[in-house]
């Protein structure tokens, strides 16, 4: 039995919405890494569609945060603003 080498993975550019969303989620301390992933996904969905406010994206994620919801929202907004993204 032989194993093939895995396919090479091309990294996404730092300016893509996905990278920005997950980097914004990394600014918020969570109980587990999966909570951060869920938060990043919901922030990405917010950036992509802009249908609901950012507050809804944070609540929908259901992430267990180690800080208050208001502080998390402040940190995410500050990161997005630093990247040139306004709500």
Per-residue pLDDT band for 69 (boundaries 50, 70, 90) equals: very high
pLDDT at position 1, please? 60
Range of the domain at 65: 17-82
pLDDT digits (tens, 9 = 90+) for 43-53: 999 999 998 99
Asked whether the beta carbons of 23 and 71 are under 8 A apart, the reply is no
State the chain's mean pLDDT as an integer.
Answer: 92
| Region of residue 25 (left: phi > 0; alpha: psi -120 to 50; beta: else) | alpha
| 25 part of a folded domain | yes
User: How many domains does the chain divide into?
Assistant: 1
Give a yes or no: residue 27 inside a domain: yes
Asked whether residue 6 is domain-assigned, the answer is no
The band of 74, judged by pLDDT with boundaries at 50, 70 and 90, is very high
Q: pTM value? A: 0.85
Tell me the HSE value of 29 on the side-chain side, using a 13 A CA sphere: 4
Give the model confidence (pLDDT) of 16-43 as tens digits: 999 999 999 999 999 999 999 999 999 9
């Amino acid at each position: 039995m032989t194993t093939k080498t895995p396919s090479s993975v091309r990294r996404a550019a730092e300016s893509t919405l996905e990278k920005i969303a997950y980097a914004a989620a990394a600014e918020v301390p969570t109980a587990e890494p999966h909570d951060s992933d869920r938060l990043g996904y919901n922030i990405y969905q917010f950036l992509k569609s802009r249908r609901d406010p950012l507050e809804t994206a944070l609540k929908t994620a259901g992430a267990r945060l180690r800080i208050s919801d208001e502080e998390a929202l402040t940190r995410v907004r500050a990161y997005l603003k630093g990247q040139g993204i306004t709500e």
